[in-house]
Amino acid sequence: MDNQTYMSGFLLLEFSNIRELQILHFLLFLVLYLAIVSANLLIISAVKFDQRLHTPMYFFLMNLAILDIGQVSVFMPKSMANSLMNTRHISYTGCVMQVFFLIFLMGADFFLLTVMAYDRYVAICNPLHYEIVINRQACVQMVTTVWISAFFNGVLHAGGTFAAPFCSNVVDQFFCEIPRLLKLSCSKVFVIEAGTVIFSCSIVLGCFIFIFVTYVQIFTAVLRIPSVQGRQKAFATCLPHLTVILSSLFSGFFAYLWPILNTSSHADFAITIIYSVVPPMLNPVLYSMRNKEIKAALSKQLGFSYSTGSIFSSVLL
């Protein structure tokens, strides 16, 4: 069938055809979305308005929080609206935008985590040169490079995915996902996107190798620290970051591997939630809210006293 037949849009996967379950999905996604956005906005405001947090590490954290908010905002509001209005439709342009922004933001997220690994390496392995190497200008340049590289990565994937005509407009997912869209392709032009995926995977693999080598050197340096308190402090700043990296990497791996397998829709839904919703939800907790400086800034910003702030911090944990 000609692609023009489906230029009006696509039909996304509905969670249920039972109205009560659709409302339940809307409410659950609404709670998750508000929790993710609120937690990341707290991190952004804490870094923005607390002078003590105007350091490279927290500058990177603020950008990570911005990316997490953007990532869930690409697909969750549309999914909630569809459930609330009992529809499955998404426009062709809307689908293109979902693909572009998801790849753009998820790519920028991983690139930024790579930069943050380098930041921790310099801070722990070369502390005397930290302020010289990771200065304000270098931070801005690295973050700018991350955003620009991710932007072109998003353009390449969106262009490669929609270059081919589609034989169907029924997407077996609750948002426009590249592996699901490629299954609808009725042309060999999808090889363009396959080449783009291989290229992107090569870049991700390169980033992963860089992170792995970096952390080998970090842990080697940490184990040489004579004081137990010093080792604990170093591990406290590295382990949450490493956890976030691994969760992002494995979730992205499952995102592209899982559609190849013949699985039930319930399993597909669970895996999709894990890689698309869980990392942005856990990032503030794993990487930011377990940080004493962040918790102190949040307590001050929300008007808690020190003792009340301690209770607030324990609740966050």
Which CATH number fits the domain that encloses residue 185?
1.20.1070.10
Give the type of residue at 12.
L
Residue 167 lies in a domain: yes
Confidence of residue 50 (pLDDT cuts 50, 70, 90): confident
Give the global pTM.
0.84
Higher pLDDT, 171 or 6: 171
Mean pLDDT is lowest, of 47-61, 74-88, 204-218, 290-304, for: 290-304
Q: Is 141 exposed, middle or buried (0-12, 13-18, 19+ CB in 10 A)?
A: exposed
- The residue range of the domain holding 64 is 10-312
The secondary structure of residue 286, as a DSSP letter, is I
- Residue 168 belongs to a domain: yes
Alpha helices in the chain (DSSP H): 19-49, 56-85, 92-125, 130-133, 136-161, 178-183, 190-223, 228-257, 265-276, 278-283, 292-301, 306-316
In a domain, 2, yes or no: no
Share of the chain above pLDDT 70, in %: 80
- Tens of pLDDT, residues 267-296: 667 777 777 887 888 877 776 655 677 777
For residue 137, the model assigns a pLDDT of: 93
Q: What separation in angstroms does the CA of 104 have from each of 26, 86, 107, 290, 315?
A: 26, 29, 5, 28, 33
- With H, G, I as helix, E, B as strand and everything else as coil, classify residue 238: helix
pLDDT for 274 equals: 75
Residue 140, pLDDT score: 94
pLDDT at position 151, please? 95
180, 80 Cβ separation under 8 angstroms: no
Query: Is 1 part of a structural domain of the chain?
Result: no
The mean of the pLDDT values for the chain is 80
> pLDDT band at 229, cuts 50/70/90?
confident
> Where does the pLDDT of residue 317 fall: very low under 50, low under 70, confident under 90, or very high at 90 and above?
very low
In a domain, 100, yes or no: yes
Residues 8 and 228: their CA atoms lie apart, in Å, by: 63
**5-43: pLDDT as tens digits:** 445 789 998 887 888 888 998 999 999 999 999 989 988
Residue 77 Cα to chain centre, angstroms: 16
Residue 317 located in a structural domain: no
Beta bridge partners, 58, equal none
Residue 178 included in any domain = yes
Placement of tokens 């869980």 in the chain: 278
Indicate the range of 203-212, 224-233, 254-263, 289-298 predicted with least confidence: 254-263
259 in any annotated domain: yes
Number of domains in the chain: 1
Q: How far is CA 26 from CA 143, 171, 193, 272, in A?
A: 35, 20, 33, 17
pLDDT at 258 over 80: no
Mean pLDDT of 292-307: 68
